Amino acid sequence: MSSISYWNQTGEKSHYPRLDHSISTDVVIIGGGITGVTCAYCLAEKGIRPVLIEAGVLADGTTGNTTGKITVQHGIIYYKTAEKYGLDAARAYFLSQKRALKFVKSVAQKESIDCQLAENTAYIYGVNDEEWDTLQREYDVANMIGIETELLENSDFPPGNKGLLAYKGQYVFHPVRYVEGLARAAAAKGAEIYCDTKAIKLENDVPKIVHCEGDITIEADHVVMATQYPFYDGPNLFYAVLYPKRAYGVAVRAKRDWPDGSYINVGDPARSIRTHVETDERILIVVGESHDTGRGYGDMALHYDNLIHFADQVAGVREVLAKWSAQDYDTPDELPYIGRISDHSNIYVASGFRKWGLSNGTLAGMMIADLITTGNCQYESLYSRTRADISSSFGKAVAGAINPVIELIKSKLEGTQDIEGIKPGEGRVIRFKGERAGIYMDENGNVTVIDITCTHMGTELNFNSAEKTWDCPAHGGRYSIDGKLLEGPPKDPLKVLFQGKYEELLSEIQD
Ligand SMILES: Cc1cc2nc3c(=O)[nH]c(=O)nc-3n(C[C@H](O)[C@H](O)[C@H](O)COP(=O)(O)OP(=O)(O)OC[C@H]3O[C@@H](n4cnc5c(N)ncnc54)[C@H](O)[C@@H]3O)c2cc1C
């Protein structure tokens, strides 16, 4: 089964043209996920005609590969934010996310977007005393900042729980249908949308110039980077404060019934469940198995097996309809970066959503549209790249194991395997002509050897056996087995060193 998400399989995509000539505009938005499309819609509502460019097609990035929960329940976040920044910051986080939910609900209604938006209760559950304790702390802070929650001990569902924290009035939707509908509405209000149009360079001049593939340029006063990983770094050192995390998802037809609602666990491995109703049929969506990108261990296909096994425990698996994986970025203090990349800059960032970007991306689109049209926005300081505590958070990150700079050094020191004995469908890191390289053998015994030095910042890539991709542990760049760039901050493909039969490769190495 190919790794196309349930949402991308079932959500129809509109055709938008490629940008084939240079233009100038007030605002260019780079990236056609929920962040970019929300920003385009909000600007178009305010009478600005933004240009949105997307490298592939709309919602094909992380947005189309999510769980589709739109909620203020973001794992354990409120007591941690209160501890780091105080109760007011935790309250501001809640209120800002609530604003994003309200936006989605009202715009889906106003624009008649048929995206199966459904209200439900979002539960977070613990399976042992420590996690139950964590839930109680989250509950206490939630109460203090005005979130209506309920603690439930030893509930019947999910299997093995010790207790749940319930948030009423949350939502789930079909993310691809939502973004498609929102884009149609934005275009109808004057936004210009171009797909298959990749930005490759940004000149921070007056006006700013975005260079796209095919020698096309876009001159603009404002540039919105809605690309997940920021396309342009400026003074920000984003490479040191954004950590890519990969997670997996399955959609199944079940044998038994299961309760409505969204569920996520406190601990690891991550388990996130929701129900989707497609023409009266209930589909069970299970997402989880999160790990640092490029740093999953062992047979990565086991991530899918583990999720299917969990789905089987929950409701019995009758048929697996889709399997997919996607990534998002964490930050040192677990809050995203939304806003100007530096004081007074007209370049905007929206990243570090920690797998809660359906609401955070919506919020980012709204905030950036406000910044562009009025010069300021609510919650700007909470999400600012230069927020007060960032330096101490950065210190923590450097000390931790997931620092991208450390990943770069570590990756150079890791060992290699022999070429002999490689099997069809397998990828290995080998030595080829004295250098580290990646080899992949296809089902017909053909092998491809590529230079696995990431073209972004030189980190060595690792093979993901679930997706058959080469993934970068530092910043989340991902490439196909023949070196094509699939995702993330790099701009160039990998160099192919050899392509042919396995026997030919052996004789080339021996020569
Ligand atoms: C497995 C998983 C499940 C998740 N589930 C949920 C959930 O249930 N609820 C929730 O709130 N969040 C969830 N998230 C997080 C959330 O989905 C993401 O944070 C959010 O979709 C990010 O949206 P985005 O628009 O910023 O990025 P994306 O959707 O990734 O869009 C970025 C777009 O930019 C384009 N792009 C990149 N570079 C360029 C370039 N140079 N030129 C032109 N275009 C470019 C890409 O092609 C892409 O389409 C989940 C994340 C994962 C990994």
Going from the Cα of 328 to the center of ligand 1, the distance in angstroms, rounded, reads 7
- The encoded tokens of residue 47 equal 């009478």
Whole-angstrom Cα distance, residue 161 to residue 494?
A: 45
Whole-angstrom Cα distance, residue 190 to residue 174?
A: 25
DSSP letter for 475, please.
T
Tell me which residue has tokens 């800002």.
Answer: 96
361, pLDDT greater than 60:
yes
Closest CA to 26 of 378, 373, 377, 380: 373
- Triad 88, 94, 96: Cα angle to 5°: 100
For 108-125, write each residue's pLDDT tens digit.
Answer: 999 999 999 999 999 999
Which ligand 1 atom minimizes the distance to the CA of 231? 41
CB 468 within 8 A of CB 425: yes
Q: Which pLDDT band holds residue 234 (cuts at 50, 70, 90)?
A: confident
407, pLDDT greater than 80:
no
For 78-88, write each residue's pLDDT tens digit.
Answer: 999 999 999 99
Whole-angstrom Cα distance, residue 242 to residue 63?
A: 18
Residue nearest to atom 51 of ligand 1 (CA): 355
Whole-angstrom Cα distance, residue 157 to residue 179?
A: 32
19, pLDDT greater than 80:
yes
Whole-angstrom Cα distance, residue 174 to residue 64?
A: 9
Q: Which pLDDT band holds residue 412 (cuts at 50, 70, 90)?
A: low
Q: Which pLDDT band holds residue 266 (cuts at 50, 70, 90)?
A: very high
Q: Is the CB–ligand 1 distance for residue 126 below 6 Å?
A: no
Three-state DSSP at 238 gives helix
Which ligand 1 atom minimizes the distance to the CA of 326? 53
Expressed in angstroms, the distance from the first to the final Cα of the chain is 39
Residue nearest to atom 53 of ligand 1 (CA): 327
497, pLDDT greater than 50:
yes
DSSP letter for 189, please.
T
Whole-angstrom Cα distance, residue 355 to residue 77?
A: 12
Domains of the chain and CATH, by start: 17-68+174-242+331-398 (3.50.50.60), 410-510 (2.102.10.10)
Whole-angstrom Cα distance, residue 347 to residue 446?
A: 45
Going from the Cα of 327 to the center of ligand 1, the distance in angstroms, rounded, reads 8
CA quadruple 268, 480, 418, 290: dihedral, nearest 10: 0
Going from the Cα of 241 to the center of ligand 1, the distance in angstroms, rounded, reads 18
CB 49 within 8 A of CB 192: yes
Q: Is the CB–ligand 1 distance for residue 353 below 6 Å?
A: yes
Q: Is the CB–ligand 1 distance for residue 58 below 6 Å?
A: no
Which ligand 1 atom minimizes the distance to the CA of 37? 25
For 123-141, write each residue's pLDDT tens digit.
Answer: 999 999 999 999 999 999 9
- The encoded tokens of residue 354 equal 């920690």
Q: Is the CB–ligand 1 distance for residue 290 below 6 Å?
A: no
What average pLDDT does the chain have? 92
Q: Is the CB–ligand 1 distance for residue 476 below 6 Å?
A: no
CB 40 within 8 A of CB 189: no
CA quadruple 98, 104, 109, 111: dihedral, nearest 10: 150
CA quadruple 356, 360, 365, 369: dihedral, nearest 10: -170
Query: 377 — phi, psi (to 5°)?
Result: -155, 160
- Reported residue count of the chain is 511
Q: Which pLDDT band holds residue 398 (cuts at 50, 70, 90)?
A: very low
Instruction: Provide mean pLDDT across the span 408-412.
Output: 61
Instruction: Provide mean pLDDT across the span 71-98.
Output: 97
Tell me which residue has tokens 């007060």.
Answer: 388
Going from the Cα of 133 to the center of ligand 1, the distance in angstroms, rounded, reads 32
CB 363 within 8 A of CB 375: no
Q: What does DSSP say about strands 496-501 and 216-225: parallel, antiparallel, or unpaired? A: unpaired
Residue nearest to atom 12 of ligand 1 (CA): 356
DSSP H helical segments within 387-484, as ranges? 390-399, 404-413
Going from the Cα of 311 to the center of ligand 1, the distance in angstroms, rounded, reads 25
CB 74 within 8 A of CB 97: yes
Q: What is the pLDDT of residue 409?
A: 60
For 366-383, write each residue's pLDDT tens digit.
Answer: 999 999 999 999 999 999
298, pLDDT greater than 90:
no
Q: Which pLDDT band holds residue 293 (cuts at 50, 70, 90)?
A: confident
Q: What is the pLDDT of residue 1?
A: 67
Estimate the share of the chain in helix, then strand, then coil, as percent rounded to the nearest 5: 30, 30, 40
Closest CA to 96 of 368, 459, 303, 367: 367
Q: What does DSSP say about strands 427-432 and 281-292: parallel, antiparallel, or unpaired? A: unpaired
**Hey, how many other C-beta atoms are within 10 angstroms of the C-beta on 110?**
10
Instruction: Provide mean pLDDT across the span 464-469.
Output: 87
Whole-angstrom Cα distance, residue 349 to residue 337?
A: 7
Going from the Cα of 243 to the center of ligand 1, the distance in angstroms, rounded, reads 14
Q: Which residues of 153-178 are buried (b: 16+ CB within 10 A; e: fewer)?
A: eeeebbeebbbbbbbeebbbbbbbbb
Q: What does DSSP say about strands 271-278 and 149-153: parallel, antiparallel, or unpaired? A: unpaired
Q: Is the CB–ligand 1 distance for residue 33 below 6 Å?
A: yes
Q: What is the pLDDT of residue 294?
A: 76
Going from the Cα of 430 to the center of ligand 1, the distance in angstroms, rounded, reads 32
The one-letter amino acid at 200? I
Q: What is the pLDDT of residue 408?
A: 62
Q: What is the 3-state secondary structure (H, E, C) of 41-101?
A: HHHHHCCCCCEEECCCCCCCCHHHHCCCEECCCCCCCHHHHHHHHCHHHHHHHHHHHHHHH
Closest CA to 41 of 190, 222, 199: 190
Q: Which pLDDT band holds residue 399 (cuts at 50, 70, 90)?
A: very low
Instruction: Provide mean pLDDT across the span 256-265.
Output: 96
What separation in angstroms does the CA of 289 have from each of 272, 312, 465? 9, 16, 14
Per the model's pLDDT, the better-predicted residue between 406 and 171 turns out to be 171
Q: Which pLDDT band holds residue 509 (cuts at 50, 70, 90)?
A: confident
Q: Which pLDDT band holds residue 323 (cuts at 50, 70, 90)?
A: very high
Instruction: Provide mean pLDDT across the span 194-215.
Output: 95
397, pLDDT greater than 60:
no
In percent, the amount of the chain with pLDDT more than 90 equals 78
Q: What is the CA radius of gyration of the chain?
A: 23
Residue nearest to atom 38 of ligand 1 (CA): 227
For 43-57, write each residue's pLDDT tens digit.
Answer: 999 999 999 999 999
